Amino acid sequence: MIDIHKLKAFIAVVEESNISKAAVRLHIQQPPLTRLIKSLEKDLDTVLLKRLPRGVEVTEAGKALYQEAITILDHADSIPQRVRNIAQGKEGQINIGFTHSVGLHPFLPALLRQYRERFSAVAIHLEEDSSSSLVDAVINEKLDIAFLRKPAPIHADLHSFYVLDEPLIVALPSNHPLAEESGAIHLPDLEAYEFVLYRRLGGQDLFDNILANCYQAGFSPNIVQEAPRLTSSLNLIAAGIGLSIVPASIQGFWNKQVVYRPLVADQPSIAPIYAIYRAKQKSVRIEHFLDLLKRNY
């Protein structure tokens, strides 16, 4: 291992092209500096400097070492500040997961933008997956926080933070009989029609929520097709295959040949959003993120 003090001495000699001048720059005597250079050459078993009558000349190997030494010392000088930044949550990485339907809501990009404005040196890694996979990833410390449509499982060593409630609305083909009516649609009025839903495997929480709303209204929806993603279900709706119940935020993603109407039911028709995270997490970065989340929602 190369001694940092020897590298500093070598850099000074190269830049001054003179051992005496380098000794003055380093505030040491010339003999100790000469011994440091000789010791460095011995460590590397390489001649680094050619002694001239008036000064020194760096060898090809010495030039290579000089470039490497500059890089090493620059990095070494930055270590204390970087360590302090990480301890204060100003550097590092935060890993955030979300389900597809949550990713469509504008609160998430707005929250991430605010976080980036305050902690620009923290890298943000985003992961979209099913709710069950996201829960496992948080438990196994692959993700720091995840946004779902339901709170964390009771048995898991996780905390849940309620973020917001998003209204559920009806998405209809533009030529659907109910699309011709103005105003809100009562949930029981949907019983007679065919449904297109976001596949349960991808959006279990939202799927179960929609079915629960229908059951409470006294009917089981006639599901004729399931789509792999919430946005792709809009293609099926536009094609006239069926109607669907969707989170209100999706209205901004598709307006052609799809009509949206408010939904009225005896029980509130909402799709909540929760943040889940490990109960025993000790990351300052996550604390900063959660503080920002709690102040805004």
pLDDT band at 201 (very low <50, low <70, confident <90, very high): confident
d(CA 172, CA 239): 10
What value does the mean pLDDT take over residues 88-93? 86
The mean pLDDT value of the chain amounts to 91
- Among 96, 131, 129, residue whose Cα is nearest residue 115: 96
Which residue would you say has higher pLDDT here, 54 or 35?
A: 35
Q: What pTM does this model have? A: 0.76
pLDDT band at 203 (very low <50, low <70, confident <90, very high): confident
pLDDT band at 198 (very low <50, low <70, confident <90, very high): confident
d(CA 119, CA 67): 32
Q: Residue written as tokens 């070598």?
A: 10
Q: Provide the CA 269 distance to its chain's centre, in angstroms.
A: 30
For residues 217 and 188, is the Cβ–Cβ distance under 8 A?
Answer: yes
pLDDT of residue 254: 66
pLDDT of residue 241: 95
Other beta carbons within 10 angstroms of residue 271's beta carbon come to: 25
pLDDT of residue 114: 96
Topology annotation, domain 165-271: D-Maltodextrin-Binding Protein; domain 2 (3.40.190)
Other beta carbons within 10 angstroms of residue 61's beta carbon come to: 14
Angle formed at CA 223 by CA 220 and CA 227, multiple of 5 degrees: 140
Beta bridge partners of 263: 185
Amino acid of residue 84: R
pLDDT digits (tens, 9 = 90+) for 109-137: 999 999 999 999 999 999 999 999 999 99
pLDDT digits (tens, 9 = 90+) for 253-277: 766 789 999 999 888 889 999 999 9
Residues listed for the chain: 297
What value does the mean pLDDT take over residues 213-217? 93
User: Would the pLDDT of 54 be above 90?
Assistant: no
pLDDT band at 171 (very low <50, low <70, confident <90, very high): very high
Helix (H, G, I), strand (E, B) or coil at 280: coil
Tell me if 4-88 shares its fold with 165-271.
no
d(CA 230, CA 166): 15
Instruction: Enumerate the domain spans of the chain.
Output: 4-88, 92-163+272-296, 165-271
| Superfamily, domain 92-163+272-296 | Periplasmic binding protein-like II (3.40.190.10)
Domain 4-88 class, CATH top level: mainly alpha
User: Would the pLDDT of 16 be above 80?
Assistant: yes
